[in-house]
Amino acid sequence: MLYFKTRYLLIALVPLAVAGCVSSEDQRAMDQDKCASYGYRPGTNRFADCMMDQDQQRADDQRRTMESLERQDARDQARRDALNANARASVIDDRPQYDKDGNPNFDTQGNYQGCHGIGCEVDNPDDDSAD
């Protein structure tokens, strides 16, 4: 499920709330007035088609608004994911990179190998066992 930011939700709900302030009877009367202004007479097929077109237009507008909000939310999520990935990538690895003899403690894939030789003074930072 997509989670919308509050501001985008408000953008979608304000027009719906304004439209919600108009009762269904008032909306129907406005649609009838609009269709009559086009020259269609009530009771004709053309008038009924016009009324259906008005209803379909409202549904299409709401669908487009929701799709726009979903696209914006997907863009925002991608930005958040990129920021989180950058934040994780910028964490400094404080484990010792080389032992006292200058040998690398990590292989080419970044896996910790530990120090080399007898008497190494570097502990394995991945080892959770108590000494």
Q: Are 12 and 66 in contact (CB under 8 A)?
A: yes
- Those residues whose C-beta lies under 8 Å from the C-beta of residue 16, and which sit 6 or more positions away, are 62
pTM of the model: 0.45
Please tell me what DSSP assigns to residue 110.
S
Q: Are 83 and 100 in contact (CB under 8 A)?
A: no
Residue 24 main-chain phi, psi, to 5 deg = -65, -35
69-126 pLDDT, tens digit each: 999 999 999 999 888 887 777 766 666 677 667 777 777 777 777 655 555 555 556 6
- CA 2 to chain CA centroid, Å, is 6
